[in-house]
A and B are shown apart, each in its own frame.
Chain A
Amino acid sequence: MMEHEIMREIIQEFFKKTLTLRLFWLSTAVILLFILPLFISTAYISLISEMLIMALAGCALNLMMGYTGMVSFGPAGLYAVGAYTTALLLKKTGIPFAATMVAGPIMAGLVGAVVGWFCVRRTAVYFALLTLAFAQIIWTIFFEWYDFTGGDDGTVGFRKPELLLSINSSYYFILLIVIICLILLWIIVNSPFGKTLQAIRENPVRTEFIGVNVKRYQLYAFIISSLFLGAAGSLFAVFSGSVFPDYAHWIKSTDMIVICLLGGMYNFLGPVIGSAVYIFLSKLISGYTMYWMLFLGIIVVFLVLFMRNGIAGFISHKIAPLIQENKETEK
């Protein structure tokens, strides 16, 4: 009898511990993502591919928004630069596929460096307006430059490596790249550089007085964010096989901002959760009614009023303490 009791306690303890381990949950999720194509139809796989790409875009934006405290209204501009670079290179040149995938983020990073150089000169609402203006300039270029980009017909019919022709194989490709990018971003936000960005978010004036050139660090954050936004854009170009000016539109930027807010800005994986929930909801609701935008509005109102730290914030502040009582002492 006694032994039985002890065994049960040990098992309970084991579950309590593993369930609260972040690494355990993460690896479970990753394994699940890798075996998913065995169980569900390709329609869902392509939906999840889209979620993964938007998760990366959200996390890239969040480096600026959640970690550095710079609210950008124009992330879609840089995302589109990545998408167009890859698409146009695939269409008009013969350079290897891998090179076009690298060129996308690099081009976005370069454009981000120029745009960011202007934007970091202003703060708060002026910064946001500048980013919006630049994104709309980028949109106009893609829209109007018909001979080169195809205007509103988009850039379509570019080559794709044979390996990525099936939905499942392109899903694996996207999954792999997104995971690599997220690991890189995770390393960056936890580095001394990432901590310095958080100090800037918390208190830019004080950060200046500990000897940090705040504007320069904000520019670095802008460039790094642009690189990863570009990577997400390149992935989406390859995934969908077509690129349109609307990728740069402010509506797309709004999607990314809502993804960050919905998932939680102050949590690294917040945008990943946000992307999954947002895209799922958008597909679900737009299947029933034309008024998806109406529901989007309601979601935003709800988020801003009742869930300021998003789903991830809600879980870690409200639900996690219920499961794990001694969190403070451990942390």
Chain B
Amino acid sequence: MIEVEGLTKSFGGLTAIDNVYLKFKKRELSSIIGPNGAGKTTLFNLITGHLSPDQGKIIFNGRDITNLPPHEISRVGIGRSFQRQNIFPRLSTFENIQIALFSAKHINGKLFSQAKNMLRDETDEILESVGLTDKKLMQAGYLAYGDQKRLEIGIALAIEPQLLLLDEPTAGMSPRETIEITKLIKKLVKKRGLTLIFIEHDMDIVFGISEKVKVMHQGRIIFEGTPKQVKANAEVQKIYLGKDKK
């Protein structure tokens, strides 16, 4: 599905991503964990074209997508959500999804047709699937934090991705919201047959959703395996999970 080969990126003197090799299989649910500053978000920014790598290649479905601009990468089928909520605040919840659908269906260049009722059913369906139907007319910026996160996932889904990258989907959420959003992600990804890679700090979610876990530290992948293997690994325990032991 997606392969990262020898990816390297440094900022000034700091090597944020250091010769990383990764492989993700189709329909696999993987997570990337690691302490702050390990390079997880940088890796996402490289994959989605927000940053371009110093060295290395990114291959998606057999196609080299290294150095493509973000809008083209999104078109090949990679959707992402952001760590901080990243929506269109002064537009309605409905429009947030609808505009993403315009782009997915290649009709956002239409100048002379009225947008209001276009793709209404498709938009409603996505709103329904992320549980925002009753808030669809609200201005998105006024939604509660958890709902904005849901909306963001909805926007990412609207472009009909094959691969979904979620950057800390539950950051800043209450425990109840966290459980709900975790369930939602799991359900949507399974239903749509997506490949999922997500960054997360909450170990319950990591071990609850993912089939594979990659551990990053100082720009390198130091361990890969199933959640069970990660839990059992002494080095990971020391670097990362150690801090989490209550």
Contact = CB atoms under 8 A, between A and B. Distances in A.
B155 A205 contact: no
Contacts of B158: 210
Interface in A228-268: 266
Contact of A191 (B82, B113, B155): B113
Interface in B67-89: 69-72, 74-75, 79-80, 82, 86-89
A330 to B, nearest CB: 10
Contacts of A28: none
Contacts, number: 99
Contact of B155 (A187, A198, A206, A212): A206
A192 B118 contact: yes
Contacts of A194: 115
Interface string A209-224: 1111110010000000
A199 B71 contact: no
Give the interface centre of A193, A199, A203, A213 by most chain B CB atoms within 10 Å: A199
Contact of B74 (A208, A217, A328): A208
Interface stretch (B1-9, B91-99, B194-202, B231-239): B91-99
A196 B103 contact: yes
A169 interface: no
Contacts of A199: 88, 91, 99
Interface residues of A, number: 27
A198 B88 contact: yes
A317 interface: no
A196 B108 contact: yes
A69 B159 CA distance: 24
Contacts of B99: 192, 195-196, 198-199, 210
A331 interface: yes
B86 A212 contact: no
B159 to A, nearest CB: 5
Give the interface centre of A192, A194, A202, A331 by most chain B CB atoms within 10 Å: A192
Interface in A78-121: none
A187 B113 CA distance: 7
A60 to B, nearest CB: 15
Interface in A312-331: 328, 331
A42 interface: no
A199 B158 CA distance: 15
Given A195-B95, A195-B99, A195-B102, A203 B86 contact: yes
B102 A196 contact: yes
A196 B114 CA distance: 13
Nearest to A196: B108
A190 interface: yes
B100 interface: yes
B88 A190 contact: no
A208 B82 CA distance: 13
Contact of B87 (A188, A191, A206, A331): A206
Contacts of A191: 110-115
A209 B74 contact: yes
B14 interface: no
Nearest to A217: B108
A198 B140 CA distance: 13
Interface of A: 187-188, 190-196, 198-199, 202-203, 205-214, 217, 266, 328, 331
Given A208-B74, A213-B71, 10 more contacts: A191-B112, A193-B109, A195-B99, A202-B89, A203-B86, A205-B50, A206-B82, A209-B74, A328-B137, A331-B137
12 contacts: A192-B102, A194-B115, A198-B91, A199-B91, A202-B87, A208-B69, A208-B74, A209-B48, A209-B70, A211-B71, A211-B103, A211-B159
